[in-house]
Amino acid sequence: MLLEIVQYGHPVLRQKCRSIEHVDDGIRDLAKNMLETMYAADGVGLAAPQVNIPIQLICIDIPEDEDSVSLLKVDGEDRKLSDIMPLIFINPSLEPYGEMESCQEGCLSVRKIRASVARPKKVRATVTLLDGKTVTIDCDGLLARCFQHECDHLNGVLFVERVSSAQRLTLKSKLKRLFG
Ligand code: NI
């Protein structure tokens, strides 16, 4: 089932999301619908607050031919993207590390806007999968960026707040024009 993706200005996008204690059928159904919604919108990541549910649930699917990802380890073992995608998880904790890198980002909740955002190149993400298993993922490239972008959503932060001060003014007027 396709869900409605809320847009910039909606208060749920500003909320701090609560962690999930039990994965039940409701959570599994929601995750399935979020994935379907993300694919239909041509996205690579979607966080639950973007479908108006402020809980710590995220889905990510990075295509296996994404060549920006050169580091990918799960619990210390080398893995390929196709081994772990689509990746659906709850209650993430992130440790970004490495040098900063600027890259264009977009967001399904901030349609028609792209902007360059500087973030650390790598992350160590500890996440719980829907089967209850907790894994540690070390990665770089688009996957590291996606982890950081999606986890920001769980803290009520959007990528447009992470742009450089030089871009901020132009972006502000664009956001006003598009979202009122
Ligand atoms: Ni987003």
Average pLDDT rounded to a whole number, residues 143-150: 98
Residue ranges in 48-161 assigned as alpha helix (H): 81-84, 141-154
Residues 89-125 pLDDT 10s:
999 999 999 999 999 999 999 999 999 999 999 999 9
The two structure tokens encoding residue 23: 């994965």
The two structure tokens encoding residue 37: 């919604």
Residues 26-50 pLDDT 10s:
999 999 999 999 999 999 999 999 9
Average pLDDT rounded to a whole number, residues 123-147: 98
Q: How much is the pLDDT for 156?
A: 98
45 CA distance to ligand 1 centroid (A)?
A: 7
The two structure tokens encoding residue 109: 């909740």
State the Cα–Cα distance between residues 47 and 59, nearest whole angstrom.
6
149 CA distance to ligand 1 centroid (A)?
A: 6
The two structure tokens encoding residue 133: 């298993």
CA–CA distances in Å: residue 179 to residues 9, 78, 104, 109, 174: 7, 43, 20, 11, 8
Q: How much is the pLDDT for 113?
A: 96
What percent of the chain clears pLDDT 70, i.e. is strictly above it?
100
Q: Cα 119 to the chain's mean position, in Å?
A: 13
Q: How much is the pLDDT for 119?
A: 98
102 CA distance to ligand 1 centroid (A)?
A: 16
**Taken in order 70, 74, 79, 85, is the CA torsion positive or negative?**
negative
Average pLDDT rounded to a whole number, residues 22-26: 97
Q: How much is the pLDDT for 173?
A: 93
* Average pLDDT of the residues of the chain: 97
- Which residue of the set 21, 77, 150, 161 is catalytic? 150
Reported confidence tier of residue 86, pLDDT bands at 50, 70, 90: very high
| 150 is an active site residue | yes
Q: How much is the pLDDT for 180?
A: 84
